[in-house]
Structure 1
Amino acid sequence: MPQIDPNFVFPVLIGDIGGTNARFAILVDSYAEPKEFPVLLTQDFDTIEDAIQSVVLDHTSILPRSAVIAVAGPVEGDEIPLTNCKWVVRPREMMERFNLSDITVLNDFEAQALAVVSLDDKHLENIGGEAAHPNGKRVVLGPGTGLGVAGLIRSRQTWVPVPGEGGHVDFGPRSQRDCQIFPFIEKIDGRISAEQLLCGRGLQHIYQAVCLADGITPCLNSPAEITDAALDKSNPQAVETLELFVIYLGRFAGDLALFFMAQGGVYLSGGIPQRIIPALRNGSFRAAFEDKAPHQHILKSIPVHVIVHPLAAIAGLSAYARTPARFDIHTDGRRWR
């Protein structure tokens, strides 16, 4: 059976599609930096094709010949619905409309994992731990519209991203305060998942539960309002909400570090970690991250970094498009030619 060429035909359209925002770029060749386009709101366009036409192709003379796109949700079949967005990605229809010869669709946190080994140190803010093992397993997680998780493993001189849906694992109370507020967290089919607490709406869930547990009427109505009030310390319930969010994020990140034995480090991606770096540095995050008896010594050594690159997934996908041989990505059922 003839071996299929893993390389992409340039120019390559690069896309990172989340539940709220979509980001696009065009990679002209394997040496160029990606040509970036304005970030768009998915709710402003009926389809991904309309978004690509309006935001990308109407503003450049460069016509892509192939595409590498990451989406927020599992990639299965010829119709790929997004988890927190009305768009449905249909690669065959997209190929016909834009005259593309090749489309690869990956999970959005697979793209974040690719970014972990594609970014310079200047795009990583350290939150404690020791030096990372250069070939050690890594894990990336990101609270945003949802909670994404992926791993990254070194094997036979290549990096292997391991996508998953780890944000949907069970998450339970641990402290006395948790036991007071968790009864006020809305359950889905009888359970609370990590994503219900560790994302934008998770901040709202925690804040509302804190207020209800203390008999206070909530007065803040969005994750941005809650975060602002917490950082400027203008609202006591918001301050406690952010503190709990940081602790829960540390607990969850520490669990993932143990799952993967991530001696290469744990990486926090997305807009929320970037915005709350001062809160992540106050000690509560590291304390919760390391509080995993009897393995505190293992967690103490594992470094945590916040990814501060504004378009990290685009950087990761571009690295893959330039040099596919650097990564071992199984594209069966996820690449259309």
Structure 2
Amino acid sequence: MSQSASSVVTFPVLFADIGGTNARFALLADAEGDIRHFDTVETRLFPTVEDAIQGAVIDAGAPVPKSLVFALAGPIGEESTQLTNCPWVVTPRRLVERFALEHVILFNDFEALGLCLPGLKPKDLVAVGGALPPERGTKVVIGPGTGLGAAGLVDAAGLWVPVPGEGGHIDLAPVTARDYDIWPHIERAGGRVTGETIICGSGLLRLYRAVAAAGKSFAACDTPAAVTAAAEAGDPLAVETVALFAEHLGRIAGNLALTFLAHGGVYLAGGIAPRIVKVLQQGGFRAAFEDKYPHQGLMASLPTAIIVHDRPALAGLVDFARRPSTFGLRLDGRHWRG
């Protein structure tokens, strides 16, 4: 067991990136050691997060951790956190008691993605519409996966300050004549069309059905994967759907870029963007991203890139544990001690 002078955790540290569908774990024995990754597990296979830790990590022969640093898909609560698209409830005090822990620190999952941005290498990124983002400057990350997450990373006084949020739930409006054809057919939750309504896995299928209904066409695909596969095969309905998906992702990414004035770039994360790289690079994404009158020139100067690192949120958590002094973070309300 070791602890660096500037550390806020005691090693070994167990890291987790827990989304609506999958949970990914990694362990760091000390601040300068190698990361040990574990098999990704489906959240539906374990009734609780404690059972997942036991089954995927402890039973795999890993050293018993002294600290947990987790990224969760949902807003962090004072005593417990209910994941947005998963039945698990993460209760730090229960984790401390179950595993005899000294520290539990929780982040929103996209806040953790924000932490990884300064450490990403060129090999971890694919540019969309020009150069890769610069090393410094305020950054934004947005990612369609099971849901739609977003966060900012502010470059302030030499520190990186993550800003978590629920930007995936801001309203999304029709812009083009084609949008107005499609909008009446979009299935809505709570009477709203938000970013997450159509810019996520289930949203892609929702958009596909709306496009089909607008054109009085038969919607043959019944899963998001089937839609992307059909698009790759040249099916016109699926091709238009994926193109519109990229366009609306560009619109909402541009909104967030304006909000943060993201000279450090906008990064696309999540499970979908790396699968539709060619579509995102075809121009519709950037055109929608830049279409922000009267600031088209400003928007054209803001770089965008797709994250192709296989476990970026975990990388962000590890960077925080190794170099906490580089991040401007208040741990009040997210740090529990044993």
Matches within 5 A, 1:115-130: 115-130=116-131
Q: Which runs of 5+ in 2 are unaligned?
A: none
Matched, 1:13 2:23: no
Question: What is the Cα deviation at residue 271 of structure 1?
Answer: 1.4
Paired residue secondary structure (1:117): helix
Task: Say if 1:61 and 1:215 are closer, same or farther in 2 by CA, change over 3 A.
Answer: closer
Query: Partner residue of 1:283?
Result: 283
Query: Partner residue of 1:297?
Result: 297
2: CA distance between counterparts of 1:179 and 1:272? 25
Question: What is the Cα deviation at residue 188 of structure 1?
Answer: 2.3
Question: What is the Cα deviation at residue 130 of structure 1?
Answer: 4.7
Paired residue secondary structure (1:70): strand
Question: What is the Cα deviation at residue 216 of structure 1?
Answer: 1.6
Identity across aligned pairs (percent)?
49
Q: How far does the alpha carbon of each residue in 1:28-59 deviate from its partner, in whole angstroms, 9 at most, with x for none?
A: 11112310001111011100000010011111
1: CA distance between counterparts of 2:132 and 2:41? 37
Question: What is the Cα deviation at residue 61 of structure 1?
Answer: 3.9
Matched, 1:239 2:239: yes
> Structure 2-normalised TM-score?
0.96
Query: Partner residue of 2:332?
Result: 332
Question: What is the Cα deviation at residue 115 of structure 1?
Answer: 1.0
Question: What is the Cα deviation at residue 221 of structure 1?
Answer: 0.5
Q: How far does the alpha carbon of each residue in 1:43-86 deviate from its partner, in whole angstroms, 9 at most, with x for none?
A: 11100000010011111241110110010000012111000000
Q: Which runs of 5+ in 1 are unaligned?
A: none
Q: How far does the alpha carbon of each residue in 1:277-329 deviate from its partner, in whole angstroms, 9 at most, with x for none?
A: 01111111111111111111111111101000010001010000111111112
2: CA distance between counterparts of 1:126 and 1:239? 22
Q: How many residues align?
A: 333
Query: Partner residue of 1:207?
Result: 208
Matched, 1:310 2:294: no
Q: Given residue 243 of structure 2, which amino acid in structure 1 is its aligned partner?
A: E
CA contact (8 A) 1:196 1:202 kept: yes
Q: Given residue 122 of structure 2, which amino acid in structure 1 is its aligned partner?
A: D
> Structure 1-normalised TM-score?
0.96
1: CA distance between counterparts of 2:230 and 2:324? 45
Query: Partner residue of 1:168?
Result: 169
Query: Partner residue of 1:321?
Result: 321
CA contact (8 A) 1:73 1:107 kept: yes
Q: How far does the alpha carbon of each residue in 1:75-108 deviate from its partner, in whole angstroms, 9 at most, with x for none?
A: 0121110000000001111111111110001100
CA contact (8 A) 2:17 2:24 kept: yes
CA contact (8 A) 1:129 1:301 kept: no
2: CA distance between counterparts of 1:190 and 1:270? 26
Matches within 5 A, 1:1-337: 7-130=8-131, 132-233=133-234, 235-337=235-337
1: CA distance between counterparts of 2:304 and 2:88? 33
CA RMSD of aligned residues (A): 1.3
2: CA distance between counterparts of 1:94 and 1:300? 47
1: CA distance between counterparts of 2:237 and 2:134? 39
Paired residue secondary structure (1:186): coil
